Structure 1
Amino acid sequence: MYLRKFAPILVSLALVGILPYNCAPKEEKSSFKTAYSTWSSYLGDSGRSHFSTLSQITPENVQHLKVAWSYEASDWGQMQMNPIVVDSILYGVTAALRVVALHAETGKEIWQFGDSVKVWHSTSRGVSYWEKGNDKRILCTRGSDLFALDALTGKPIPSFGNNGKIDMRSGMPESAKNKFVISNTPGTVYKDLIVMPLRVSEGQGAPPGDIMAFNLITGVVEWVFHTLPEKGEAGYETWSEDPRESSIVGAANNWAGMAVDEETGIIYVPTGSAAPDFYGGNRLGSNLYANSLLALDANTGKRLWHFQFTHHDIWDRDPPAPPNLLMVERHGKKIPAVAQVTKQGYVYVFHRKTGEPLFDIEEVPVPPTTILGEEAWPTQPIPVKPKPFARQAQDLTQTDISAFAENKEELLEIFKTSDKRLYAPPALTPNFLFPGYDGAAEWGGTAADPDEGIIYVNSNEMAWNLQLGLADPIAKEMPQGKAAYQQYCASCHQNNREGIIASGFPSLLDLQLRKEKSEVATIITNGKGMMTGFPQLEKEEIDALLRFLFEEEVQHNVVETSIERTNDPSYKHTGYNKFLDNKGLPGISPPWGTMHAIDLNTGEYIWSIPFGDTPQLGEAGKGTGCENYGGAVVTENGLLFIAATKDGYFRVFNKHTGHILWQYKLPAAAFATPAMYEVNGKQYIAIACGGEKLGTKKGNQIIAFALE
């Protein structure tokens, strides 16, 4: 943002090489133009619109886009981050959670903040920015810590918390102090507050997913909203037992990010499912405020209204992205709206101030459970409009098995014997979960034209298997390491340690040939990628688990007392298995990825197209669509920019028609949302290319494009 009173400061910085000399303050534009001409907030603005009014790049000249600069990070791997740009500095996060400040015109590094020795294995979607007078701060996370950095130097602000950092668990109950709590998504800034999204465990014993606002100057907790209500609070009656006193139940956290209406002071918070994810026998009831959109007073945390998308979630159907704030038209009048996309492929649209649905939502009867001790909720809320932007399991037939599959009969048998009913509850027999665990919509978020009431959402169409099994008893004579593996690791990496490679869970066989114990110990404690960490484990238990993983437990004939499991659910999730053919391609027919433009004024689709290609199939793979993670940027003058696809391309579409105008093969797949900005009169769009996800090659670059 270009503020006239800071011109002398900016010029001084330019003279010492921190900023370009000619980044002088610019003339004020209209409020609409100004609000969407910068990219100083996650996903572009506080309404998470992914929208820009910059217009130098047009449908007529977009084919002349070229690489303007590229930055190579010192570490390699998945980068989900959406860069932000403030006063000609681009801020981003590398694969090892190192924060970098780059000259936005050249890509030259200005400063870097991070541990030069310790490598963090989590993912980050970016940073937040706050300023007050000459005080300019970057807010970032690493583990459970929230850091406040000087935006111009990268040095921690000593007056913030403890020498520049606070533990985000400081506002949580004592029971959460040693549990896994991190943040993958930038916090939402409002006045002198930052409200932090939190990622916690999805299994038993997870901490409560409280919504917390921290003072940006001091780091002190200003307010807390209990998503798991305390006794006496509204929503408490929707739980069969006290959720805050349970040693099993937790979560209902916001991990995907939030949006804030700065004019009204209302913050919109989508919450995740309660833990444990797939068995709810210890948390009977509808489980407020899990799986909800909360409208809170951003000043106090007071609840204004809420809507629950999934009652008593046992499918992990948490909203995967921040909501969009936009205006829609009803009866010739503009109405402030908030729209939330979901993993199921539904779009829910509400009046921003009252929470009134702007399209009817029906409570639809759904099947009962067959699991002892479980009580599935009898209805679920389904919007009448818009129609789902992904196919639904109950609508698929045998003709939807992929024609590309060589093992079609095998896939057909799985398909025929799987439960495909709407909201079929998890059972000891397989469910056909489609859209899958990761959803139709993803964490990359939905782009919106905030004044025209149109959203642009990319979607996955991948089927997965959902199934429960009986929890294996842990024998008293079982070695402690094997017992720990069975409790914490087997659901993803399988009892035989072979993993589910196609689903992103690596084999742990022969681990001693590939990893050092110290690295594996760090991953166990802190997590890696989408794997949650287990900081609550004592050193003795970690050492025992390492002996098992490194095949030393039997070798040394170590027999130890097993860990104790009390009140453990009788059922366990059997793992995340994709419905794939014998070549690793989706077992259903294409499209496997799609892109949609939806008019929320009417609830009708403007266009829908396959999104991405499948190079593995040669010419036949063009137009099949493919898996995609990351969001789009849409411009006022008619363009939609998006990478996100497994095939590794960066593409530009005509936002009115869905027609492709330009594409570029990136050095590594970009599972991230781009950022659009302007420096010295030139328009740029930057994207992080980290690859690694979905089996793609690793990358380490941030690349900016501009007209040649």
Structure 2
Amino acid sequence: MIRFALYLLSGLLLLSLPAVAGEWPHYGGDAGGTRHSAAAEITPSNVDDLQQAWLYSTGDMTAHADDMKHSAFEGTPVLAAGSLVFCSPFNEVIALDPGTGAQKWRYDPKIATGYRPGNQFVCRGVTPWTDETAASGDLCAMRLFMGTVDSRLIALDAATGQPCLGFGMDGEVKIDPGMGLQWPGEFQITSPPAVANGVVVVGSSISDNRRVDAPKGTVRAFDARTGKPVWEFNPIVRGAADHPESWPRGGIAARTGHANVWAPMAADAARGLFFLPTSSPSPDFFGGERAGDNRYANSVVALDAATGKVRWSFQTVHHDVWDYDVPAQPSLVTVMREGKPVDAVAQVTKTGFVFLLDRDTGEPLFEVEERPVPQGGALGEFLSPTQPVPVAPPPLVPQELKAEDAWGLTPWDRAACREKIAGARSEGLFTPPSEQGTIMYPFTGGGANWGGAAFDPATSTLYINTSRAAHLITLIPSENFEAAKAAEPNEEISPQAPTRWAVKRELVLSPLDLPCNPPPWGMLTAVDLSTGTIKWESVLGTVRDLAPVPVPLKWGTPNFGGPIVTAGGVVFIGAAMDDYLRAFDAASGEELWKGRLPAGGQATPMTYEWEGRQYVVIAAGGHARAGTKLGDFVVAFALPRAE
């Protein structure tokens, strides 16, 4: 089961805080993705009294029984128009009574029967937006935006769930990927749209490593009232025009795909900016067809909300050949510098680095050095000689795996791991893929991933959950691809056509299917963004629900989802693979409480106050590729009522 889990992984004024204490009006808590709540009823001293307040079932286990094995319930609800609203993995939008969990309304976009998305059935959230020009009580005065796995942008009335008929065609806009797809599910939308100043923006999720001329990672903006197109931003085409040194060979950008934004975006309405976390160009593990740094791929890009023009960008990986996408929503935070508050962007990454950037200029607030990295790429490759490395904070995960580091339950197990590592290139972070086989550590699932980070403005602390595992990346001559795939049909072997190299990606596991790198395999870390230092680290998860017998060994697990932090001083997180929602002391990292879930909690929780009571809510539906227990539940916890 661990095998499948790891595959997926592959006191300040904060302008973006929720307008009303105790609310959660956005996927990330606020439009800036801080995942912070002003709710303070639950504290370290009483969190152990939490109990289940209500449980809701979407019915997906019955209605979508055949598709559940291709799904992941990664949604985070929002509190909007007096309802708790979320989307199911199949893009059904459901509104619940916040106090009881009773269903109020439900909208089904009717995803086509037999549809197979390349990256599972996933919907991480919906995005509320209030039309200030509409009269109170008008239909769609507040609306909810959602992207779908079959590439639609839908607008619904937040109070009733009815489509906003004036938006696009009967409440939806069909997104055109701009080229023919190899199959309908190659292109989808999985993360919630971003909205600012009357403009709604969507990215896309695109299947990796099939071809160079893959769908482009165009970010599309629409009028939030009418659905009419406003602008488009293509990281690759614009990069070729603005930075010829980054795409030096004629015509190469025109046929290179991806650099898409599959993770959530952040918005700063006051500045009129969207912040985009972009991914790698296609394909992931060979860049001989895309020489140069490939700007604006693998970058944090700040776009003008009105025009889509680049205000600034910061690249976290040059010429990516490791699938080190920028995987998480940028966190819009405020930190102190020389006694003054500075608005910033904190970006967590798969490599374990945290970049802290000035929100107006993109300049690093902690020094970033260009450091030499391993060379000697495959035939035809164009590697960057250096990569950007922040001096602070320190990396959150180990970045080198040597044979002597091999781990195993038994001497035999460990010897097998030692031999596997010794037989591959393993020269630390950014060792290039090779025909010999290259150890990638951390693996393509992180470090950090789409769960992102939570920020406490009172203490300037960023909370990040990370996974620790390694991949073995082996390049295969393209003429041998078919034979390799036929010989190992159950392994991930991808063509990367029409380059000279196909690729095999596999986890570095022992004969007992345990990671060859030493535990812990999942961690929760607190970083002081004022000083760039680590405050504490805590192991996240046990192997209770992974082992043949339920022994809760505290080795940590790969984790999917993110943390939230409250003014009460508590960090809540599910994510781990042992079916619990956990609470940690925000100051010390001590695990204070865990609540058993009816299925895997591979989602980011949220919290809100309703009728004087604080609730903590998480989707518990599991993750098919991770191998966690599947379900269709939303679970709310609260302190016992006073009476």
TM range (shorter): 0.7 to 0.9
- State which of 500, 514, 527 in structure 2 corresponds to 1:570: 500
2:270 equivalent in structure 1 = 263
Aligned partners of 2:16 and 2:268 also within 8 Å: no
More helix by share: 1
Asked whether 1:153 is paired with 2:160, we answer yes
Structure 1 residue 173 displacement after superposition:
4.3
Aligned partners of 2:372 and 2:387 also within 8 Å: yes
Structure 1 residue 495 displacement after superposition:
2.6
Q: Deviations over 1:319-341 (max 9, x none)?
A: 11011111111222211111101
**1:255 counterpart SS class:** coil
Asked whether 1:222 is paired with 2:215, we answer no
Counterpart Cα distance in 1 of 2:541 and 2:289: 42
Aligned partners of 1:230 and 1:242 also within 8 Å: no
Asked whether 1:212 is paired with 2:203, we answer no
Structure 1 residue 176 displacement after superposition:
7.5
- State which of 182, 188, 197 in structure 2 corresponds to 1:182: 188
Please list, as runs of the form range in 1=range in 2, the aligned pairs for 1:335-484 lying within 5 A after superposition: 335-393=342-400, 396=402, 398-403=404-409, 406-421=412-427, 422-472=429-479
**1:275 counterpart SS class:** coil
1:624 equivalent in structure 2 = 555
- Please tell me the residue identity of whatever aligns with 2:502: K
Counterpart Cα distance in 2 of 1:322 and 1:36: 22
- State which of 496, 513, 516 in structure 2 corresponds to 1:584: 513
2:102 equivalent in structure 1 = 108
1:127 equivalent in structure 2 = 126
- State which of 495, 516, 539 in structure 2 corresponds to 1:610: 539
Shifted more, 293-302 versus 110-119: the winner is 110-119
Aligned partners of 1:459 and 1:593 also within 8 Å: yes
CA gap 1:227/1:451 in 2 versus in 1, 3 angstroms: farther
**1:156 counterpart SS class:** coil
Asked whether 1:666 is paired with 2:560, we answer no
Counterpart Cα distance in 2 of 1:176 and 1:614: 40
2:292 equivalent in structure 1 = 285
1:705 equivalent in structure 2 = 637
Counterpart Cα distance in 2 of 1:164 and 1:447: 33
**1:238 counterpart SS class:** coil
Counterpart Cα distance in 1 of 2:89 and 2:233: 31
- State which of 30, 34, 54 in structure 1 corresponds to 2:19: 34
Please list, as runs of the form range in 1=range in 2, the aligned pairs for 1:412-561 lying within 5 A after superposition: 412-421=418-427, 422-472=429-479, 486=482, 494-496=485-487, 498-500=489-491
- Please tell me the residue identity of whatever aligns with 1:454: T
1:653 equivalent in structure 2 = 584
Aligned partners of 1:210 and 1:227 also within 8 Å: yes
**1:467 counterpart SS class:** strand
- Please tell me the residue identity of whatever aligns with 1:599: D
Structure 1 residue 280 displacement after superposition:
1.0
Percentage identity across paired residues of the two chains: 35
Return the TM-score normalized by structure 2.
Answer: 0.88
Q: Deviations over 1:511-546 (max 9, x none)?
A: xxxxxxxxxxxxxxxxxxxx9xxxxxxxxxxxxxxx
- State which of 685, 688, 693 in structure 1 corresponds to 2:616: 685
Aligned partners of 1:325 and 1:450 also within 8 Å: no
Counterpart Cα distance in 1 of 2:129 and 2:252: 33
Counterpart Cα distance in 1 of 2:48 and 2:306: 46
Counterpart Cα distance in 2 of 1:201 and 1:31: 33
CA gap 1:620/1:149 in 2 versus in 1, 3 angstroms: closer
2:50 equivalent in structure 1 = 65
Counterpart Cα distance in 2 of 1:608 and 1:331: 27
Structure 1 residue 206 displacement after superposition:
1.3
Counterpart Cα distance in 2 of 1:329 and 1:465: 41
Structure 1 residue 235 displacement after superposition:
2.3
1:90 equivalent in structure 2 = 84
Q: Deviations over 1:301-360 (max 9, x none)?
A: 111111111111111111110111111112222111111010000001111111111111
Rg larger for = 1
Counterpart Cα distance in 1 of 2:288 and 2:399: 27
**2:626 counterpart SS class:** helix
Structure 1 residue 384 displacement after superposition:
0.8
2:169 equivalent in structure 1 = 162
- Please tell me the residue identity of whatever aligns with 2:524: M
Counterpart Cα distance in 2 of 1:697 and 1:454: 32
Unaligned runs of 5+ in 2: 1-14, 62-67
Counterpart Cα distance in 1 of 2:411 and 2:267: 46
Asked whether 1:118 is paired with 2:118, we answer no
Counterpart Cα distance in 2 of 1:177 and 1:431: 29
Structure 1 residue 217 displacement after superposition:
1.1
1:314 equivalent in structure 2 = 321
Aligned partners of 2:403 and 2:418 also within 8 Å: no
- Please tell me the residue identity of whatever aligns with 1:107: G
- Please tell me the residue identity of whatever aligns with 1:71: Y
Counterpart Cα distance in 1 of 2:20 and 2:251: 41
Structure 1 residue 582 displacement after superposition:
2.3
Counterpart Cα distance in 2 of 1:461 and 1:35: 37
Counterpart Cα distance in 1 of 2:472 and 2:230: 43
Counterpart Cα distance in 2 of 1:473 and 1:397: 29
**1:328 counterpart SS class:** strand
Aligned partners of 1:230 and 1:244 also within 8 Å: no
**1:382 counterpart SS class:** strand
- Please tell me the residue identity of whatever aligns with 1:212: R
- Please tell me the residue identity of whatever aligns with 2:28: L
CA gap 1:633/1:377 in 2 versus in 1, 3 angstroms: same
1:479 equivalent in structure 2 = none
Counterpart Cα distance in 2 of 1:358 and 1:214: 33
Structure 1 residue 89 displacement after superposition:
0.7
**1:444 counterpart SS class:** coil
Aligned partners of 1:278 and 1:426 also within 8 Å: yes
Counterpart Cα distance in 2 of 1:144 and 1:244: 27
CA gap 1:162/1:236 in 2 versus in 1, 3 angstroms: farther
Counterpart Cα distance in 1 of 2:153 and 2:567: 35
Aligned partners of 2:247 and 2:253 also within 8 Å: no
Aligned partners of 1:677 and 1:685 also within 8 Å: yes
Structure 1 residue 256 displacement after superposition:
0.8
1:594 equivalent in structure 2 = 523
- Please tell me the residue identity of whatever aligns with 2:598: P
CA gap 1:119/1:85 in 2 versus in 1, 3 angstroms: farther
Aligned partners of 1:406 and 1:581 also within 8 Å: no
- State which of 231, 236, 241 in structure 1 corresponds to 2:249: 241
2:93 equivalent in structure 1 = 99
Structure 1 residue 95 displacement after superposition:
3.0
Structure 1 residue 226 displacement after superposition:
2.3
**2:28 counterpart SS class:** helix
Aligned partners of 1:629 and 1:671 also within 8 Å: yes
CA RMSD of superposed structures (Å):
2.6
Structure 1 residue 229 displacement after superposition:
2.3
